[in-house]
Structure 1
Amino acid sequence: MRDWAVERRERTRHLIELGGLVIKAGLVDLTNDDRATLYGAFLTVADRLRSEERANALTLWQRKGKRAFTADQDTT
Structure 2
Amino acid sequence: MREWVVKRRERTRHLIELGGLIVKAGLIDLTDDDRATLYGALISISDKLRGEDRDHALAVWKRKGTRAFAAEQAGDSPLMRIDAKGELPTGER
The one-character-per-residue Cα deviations of 1:21-70 (angstroms, maximum 9, x if unpaired) are 00000000000000000000000000000111100000000000000000
TM-score, L = length of structure 2 = 0.80
- Identical positions, percent: 66
Q: Distance in 2 between matches of 1:29 and 1:18?
A: 17
TM-score, L = length of structure 1 = 0.98
Q: Distance in 1 between matches of 2:56 and 2:18?
A: 22
Q: What amino acid maps onto 2:11 in structure 1?
A: R
Equivalent positions of 1:45-56 (< 5 A) are 45-56=45-56
Answer yes or no: is 1:63 the counterpart of 2:63.
yes
Partner of 1:10: 10
Structure number with higher relative contact order (C-alpha < 8 Å, ≥ 6 residues apart): 2
Q: Which runs of 5+ in 1 are unaligned?
A: none
Structure in which a larger fraction of residues adopt helix: 1
Q: Distance in 1 between matches of 2:74 and 2:23?
A: 19
Q: Which runs of 5+ in 2 are unaligned?
A: 77-93
